[in-house]
Amino acid sequence: MALESSADDTCVAIVDHKKHIFSNVVIKQHAIHRQYGGIHPSVAIRAHQENMPHAIRKALCEANMKMPNIDGIAFTRGPGMGGCLSVSMNAAKALAAAHEKPIIGVHHMQGHALTPQLTNGDEMDGYPFLTLLISGGHTMIALVRSATVFKIMASTVDIAIGNAFDKAARLLGVVPDPGKGYGHALEAFCRTGDEAGEPAHLPTAGRPTFAPLSYSIPNPHQPSQFSYAGLTSAVQRALRDDTVDKQGIARAFQNAAFAQLIHKLNNAIQECQRDGVSIQAVVVSGGVASNLTLRQRLRETAFVGVNGKPPPRFIFPPPELCTDNAAMIAWASMHRFLQHDFDDYSIQPLATWDLESIGAQNEGALS
Ligand code: ATP
Ligand code: FE
């Protein structure tokens, strides 16, 4: 059984080592945070505290199991909002202590990165693979050498891409469907209206003249750095003109956000190939990876291979397992449960936690 409450979803899942997902409960909080313009920490903690017992009951019922059927309890140790992480951790410790079960604390982004091993088993072909982790709090390209050895090749210098989608959607006044978030709503908004219409032209940060936002790639001299703050500011500036075509702006925002991902990913693929690292696949995971326009664009892009080597395949988990869930936490804990490598009951949550530090041995260089 795994428990996850690092942000605004209360999640409990039951999974076995044969990759069977017996239950996967997600209780979302989108609606209660809408009035705050983001996740309100104390409101999120209270909602997790209320929802966690229901999520645990529901996960056991849907799996038709009772606690004696459970062999161990995993929980998201970090990174995330400290108080929110504590809800899962305390529930896991209490359940484990009462039922004499082992516990394991898991890195949330390790969960996102390893999800396709659980869901896309046939496509996954061992290590190393590259992962593009795009979510509410992260924008990252990492080389995954094993379940615990990650090398971060790129990350964001300011806000994460998912956060930028949320901000842009709110600025554009897009209303999410019940149970869905702003990112999903912005993607849907881009699909409506006349797609063949004139593309929006927006001023890019620091430029005196108008330039198409879709060509704006911040920090072109730092190929390993993502940046999304300027893009949301560009949307904000463009909306000062109330006659502007909002769908055009939304599409220009989405295009620019994805152009940056594709640009850096291409660099990372080439860097790996130049260093002789044979990449099995590129795993695209995290909430933004549920965006179907991005999936299509990545598949259509002619990524460049080096020295005649073909570019790697793309692997996407099912959209519902790209956003937060506890099945991914259960799976990321599995190799440790199987090795009886348990955590002590005194373990504490980590609001910040370097993905490169989770492995016992940490490689500094690519090769
Ligand atoms: P992190 O994983 O970095 O800790 P998180 O857990 O809060 O952050 P996830 O649940 O992994 O984030 O992803 C949520 C993010 O994904 C939100 O910012 C949301 O707007 C974005 N998102 C979800 N669906 C889509 C979509 N279809 N298009 C773009 N963005 C999306
Ligand atoms: Fe997440």
Q: pTM score, two decimals?
A: 0.91
Ligand 1 center to 288 CA (angstroms): 5
Q: CB within 8 A of 201, min separation 6: which ones?
A: 210, 211, 212, 213, 252
Which ligand sits nearest to residue 85's alpha carbon? 1
DSSP class of residue 199 equals P
Residue matched to tokens 């004499």: 100
Q: Do the beta carbons of residue 6 and residue 45 sit within 8 Å?
A: no
Indicate the pLDDT class of residue 305, thresholds 50, 70 and 90: confident
pLDDT at position 229 over 50: yes
Indicate the pLDDT class of residue 213, thresholds 50, 70 and 90: very low
Q: Which CATH superfamily is domain 127-279+287-320 in?
A: ATPase, nucleotide binding domain (3.30.420.40)
Return the SS3 of 102. Answer: coil
Residue 121 burial class via C-beta count within 10 angstroms: exposed 0-12, middle 13-18, buried 19 and up: exposed
Ligand 1 center to 19 CA (angstroms): 24
Ranges in the chain annotated CATH 3.30.420.40: 2-112+323-366, 127-279+287-320
Secondary structure of the chain: what % helix, strand, coil (to 5)?
Answer: 45, 15, 40
Residue matched to tokens 């939304």: 250
Residue matched to tokens 């990524």: 303
Closest ligand 1 atom to 162 CA:
18
The region of weakest confidence among 176-180, 196-200, 238-242, 309-313 is 196-200
Name residues with Cβ closer than 5 Å to ligand 2, which is an ion: 135, 324
**Average pLDDT of the segment spanning 275-285:** 91
Q: At what angle do helices 182-191 and 292-300 cross, to 10 degrees?
A: 60
d(CA 297, CA 305): 18
**Average pLDDT of the segment spanning 232-260:** 89
Ligand 2 center to 356 CA (angstroms): 17
**Average pLDDT of the segment spanning 119-123:** 88
Q: Which of 110, 213, 123, 122 is nearest to 152 (CA)?
A: 110
Ligand 1 center to 159 CA (angstroms): 13
Indicate the pLDDT class of residue 292, thresholds 50, 70 and 90: very high
Which ligand sits nearest to residue 253's alpha carbon? 1
Nearest CA to ligand 1 atom 12: 136
Ligand 1 center to 243 CA (angstroms): 30
Class of the domain covering 2-112+323-366: alpha beta
Which ligand sits nearest to residue 187's alpha carbon? 1
Which ligand sits nearest to residue 163's alpha carbon? 1
Give the model confidence (pLDDT) of 14-38 as tens digits: 999 999 999 999 998 877 777 777 7
Closest ligand 1 atom to 166 CA:
20
d(CA 200, CA 207): 16
**Predicted local confidence at residue 201, as pLDDT:** 58
Residues near ligand 1 (Cβ within 6 A)? 6-7, 80, 108, 112, 135-138, 162-163, 165-166, 181-184, 187, 286-288, 290-291, 323-324
**Average pLDDT of the segment spanning 102-121:** 96
CA distances from 24 to 1, 59, 320 (A): 10, 6, 10
Residue matched to tokens 């842009």: 168
pLDDT at position 212 over 90: no
**Predicted local confidence at residue 364, as pLDDT:** 35
In this predicted model, which residue has the larger pLDDT, 311 or 151? 151
**Predicted local confidence at residue 324, as pLDDT:** 96
The region of weakest confidence among 103-112, 189-198, 200-209 is 200-209
**Predicted local confidence at residue 155, as pLDDT:** 92
Indicate the pLDDT class of residue 310, thresholds 50, 70 and 90: confident
pLDDT at position 81 over 80: yes
